[in-house]
Amino acid sequence: MKVKSLFLGDVRFQFKYGFYFIYLFFSILYIGLLFALPRMWREKAAVIMIFTDPSAMGLYFMGSMVLFEKSERVLNSIAVSPVKPWEYVISKLFSIGLISSVVSLAIGIPAGIVINPFFFIFGVFLCSCLFSAVGLMIACKITTLNQFILATIPAEILINVPALIWLFWYKKSWLLVHPGVCIMTLCSGEGAPLPALLVLFFWAVLFTVLACGTVKKMLRSVGGVKL
Amino acid sequence: MISVKNLNFSYTRTPFIKNVGFEVKTGEIFGFLGPSGAGKSTLQKILTGLLTGFKGSVLVNGEAIGQHNNSFYENIGVDFEFPSLYEKLTAYENLKFFASLYQKHRDINTLLSKVGLLNDANKKVSDFSKGMKSRLNFIKALLHDPQVLFLDEPTSGLDPSNARVMKDLILNEKAKGKTIILTTHNMYDATELCDRVAFIVDGNIKALDTPRNLIMKRGASKIAYTYSDSGREIKMEVPLNKTSEDETFLRLIRTNCLLSIHSGEPTLNDIFVELTGRQLQ
Ligand SMILES: Nc1ncnc2c1ncn2[C@@H]1O[C@H](COP(=O)(O)OP(=O)(O)OP(=O)(O)O)[C@@H](O)[C@H]1O
Ligand SMILES: [Mg+2]
């Protein structure tokens, strides 16, 4: 099982490169903040924290993982190994999805928003995969951290702004086609969870497939030719 | 095992690799010898499927590069010219991770001890010296016991004793029937290790033969000797196959009057300069 090997490799990588430490730091900070806030704001704040942090971290962690692999030329070794592009993608998405789900529970449970654990965990996991897939696609195309941060801004706006609008002002059901709105629905326990989960699933799968294509191109051209 | 025909490739619009063709037999060590920037690594990257957009046909281990699938790499080992390792993982963790990507792999500790890294197995790669990284990178290529090995300057930056160890390991792989492509600009390594070498200059193969034939075809071996004639030291040269015709030389030998005598074969470097008009290093 190559996915298992890659997954374990990614987990070790994230541990050694200090990703888990950063997660731990932010979790403690966020939980502290939650309890400093007035009780009535706590739920909304927790939803935003989970949406912007554990799930969206995928975007940045994915970027830094791939950039490390590029700069240490490990990608060359992976490109000449039997690893298939989808195996590379899935193991990365799942490794980040797993830790994101754990951290989200750590924030969500004290905030009292985990009403249905199934929808909550799957929502966070899929959301994380979606963000990670987007991050992976961007990371494949760029070479420096600055380029990466610039390139993620449009992605952040596209995913975040409609979700925030929905959370605070405009609760029209057609907004549910947007993945950010779906995750808000699933985390806050407001609205119908099943359609939200399905829509989110669709987006996550779509971007995973797209990311596989990008990774395939990247692995075939680590020798230095732009396709 | 490897067959390249009418290969053309460039990173830019101007042609770089032009009409390259050669064959490598199973169990052979085939050398790419050439100055920096000649295109040795580029050729190797094409052969290992890391560069797309080349023209011509490239067959490696029975598969056409470009149409190969991922299991093709179960039998390909690549030692890149630069380390390709996770810097924050230890040597052992690196090897263990890469080993886990293949169906079979050799014993990690045995490999580590072969290149003298067993005691550093639990050190982070970022704390390794340049030579230690090259050695680790080298055994990483051997890890899954591949049939075809691509080694890009494996001995560069190594001290003589470690280079010796590595060359013995390369010969050992050959003895097991592995096919090896060895890139180098060290002519001594090429002469010692390679069954055949290709001289590569500006993306072209300028000559291709066994090191011995290349050397023999050109300038024959010579004897250089000196003797004293009324107080003056005189230097003379005679081709090795003409010594019996050199009366002075024979007389000097009979009368024990030689001051010095050396035989000299041209090196692969001399041949390279002669054929290509370029220096190797
Ligand atoms: N990724 C790349 N993009 C554009 N040009 C490149 C790239 N890699 C190499 N080149 C160019 O191709 C030429 C050959 O490079 P290559 O690395 O194949 O040389 P080499 O023979 O391996 O040299 P060395 O002995 O220094 O390793 C050089 O002119 C180099 O600038
Ligand atoms: Mg090179």
**CA pseudo-torsion sign A170, A173, A176, A177:** negative
The distance of Cα B137 from the centroid of its chain, to the nearest Å, equals: 16
Q: Is the pLDDT of residue B185 over 70?
A: yes
Q: What is the pLDDT of residue B196?
A: 95
Half-sphere exposure of B251 (CA within 13 A, CB side): 5
Q: What is the pLDDT of residue B91?
A: 96
Q: Is the pLDDT of residue A227 over 70?
A: no
Q: Is the pLDDT of residue A139 over 50?
A: yes
Mean pLDDT confidence for A157-161? 81
ipTM: 0.87
Decide if A227 is inside a domain.
no
Q: Is the pLDDT of residue A24 over 50?
A: yes
CB-nearest partner of A225 from B51, B87, B89? B51
CB-nearest partner of A16 from B48, B49, B88? B88
Q: Which domain holds residue A192?
A: 2-220
The answer, yes or no, to whether any atom of ligand 1 lies below 6 A from the CB of B15, is no
Mean pLDDT confidence for B271-278? 74
* Token couple for B93: 């963790």
Q: What is the pLDDT of residue A161?
A: 79
Beta strands in chain B (DSSP E): 2-9, 17-24, 29-33, 55-60, 63-64, 76-79, 148-152, 179-184, 196-201, 204-209, 222-229, 232-239, 258-264
Mean pLDDT of chain A: 86
Structural domain tally of chain A?
1
Mean pLDDT of chain B: 90
Mean pLDDT confidence for A133-162? 85
User: A225 vs B93: CB contact, 8 Å cut-off?
Assistant: no
Q: What angle do CA B269, B271, B273 make, to 5 degrees?
A: 70
Residues of A in contact with B82 (CB under 8 A): 73
For residues B92 and B117, what is the distance between their CA atoms, to the nearest angstrom? 10
More confident site: B24 or B37: B24
Decide if A69 is inside a domain.
yes
Q: What is the pLDDT of residue A117?
A: 85
What percent of chain B is predicted at pLDDT more than 70? 98
Mean pLDDT confidence for B234-259? 88
The answer, yes or no, to whether any atom of ligand 1 lies below 6 A from the CB of A224, is yes
Decide if A200 is inside a domain.
yes
Q: What is the pLDDT of residue A225?
A: 60
Give the closest-approach CA distance of A143 to chain B in angstroms: 16
CB-nearest partner of B52 from A2, A6, A225? A225
The answer, yes or no, to whether any atom of ligand 1 lies below 6 A from the CB of B77, is no
- Ligand 1 atom closest to residue B42's alpha carbon, by position in its atom list: 18
Q: What is the pLDDT of residue A27?
A: 86
For residues B79 and B151, what is the distance between their CA atoms, to the nearest angstrom? 5
Lowest mean pLDDT among A179-193, B64-78, B101-115: A179-193
pLDDT digits (tens, 9 = 90+) for B192-221: 999 999 989 889 998 899 988 877 676 667
The answer, yes or no, to whether any atom of ligand 1 lies below 6 A from the CB of B38, is yes
The residue among A64, A221, A225 with the most chain B CBs within 10 A of its CB, best to mutate, is: A225
For B:65-84, CB contacts with A below 8 A are 70-74, 76, 78, 80, 82-84
Phi, psi of B231 (to 5 degrees): 85, -15
CA of A224 to the centre of ligand 1 (A): 10
pLDDT digits (tens, 9 = 90+) for B99-114: 999 999 999 999 999 9
> What is the count of residue pairs from A and B with beta carbons less than 8 Å apart?
89
Decide if A210 is inside a domain.
yes
* Token couple for B54: 């080349």
Mean pLDDT confidence for B31-53? 90
Q: What is the pLDDT of residue B8?
A: 92
For residues A18 and A65, what is the distance between their CA atoms, to the nearest angstrom? 11
- Ligand 1 atom closest to residue B39's alpha carbon, by position in its atom list: 18
User: B82 vs A6: CB contact, 8 Å cut-off?
Assistant: no
For B:192-211, CB contacts with A below 8 A are none
**Helix (H) / strand (E) containing B216:** helix B211-217
What percent of chain A is predicted at pLDDT more than 90? 29
Decide if A152 is inside a domain.
yes
Q: What is the pLDDT of residue B122?
A: 95
Q: What is the pLDDT of residue A115?
A: 79
Decide if A12 is inside a domain.
yes
The answer, yes or no, to whether any atom of ligand 1 lies below 6 A from the CB of B202, is no
The answer, yes or no, to whether any atom of ligand 1 lies below 6 A from the CB of B203, is no
Residues of B in contact with A66 (CB under 8 A): none
Decide if A226 is inside a domain.
no
Decide if A225 is inside a domain.
no
CB-nearest partner of A80 from B48, B52, B86? B48
For residues B177 and B186, what is the distance between their CA atoms, to the nearest angstrom? 24
Using pLDDT thresholds of 50, 70 and 90, give the confidence band for residue A190: confident
pLDDT digits (tens, 9 = 90+) for B118-163: 999 999 999 999 999 999 999 999 999 999 999 999 988 889 899 9
Residues of B in contact with A220 (CB under 8 A): 49-50, 52
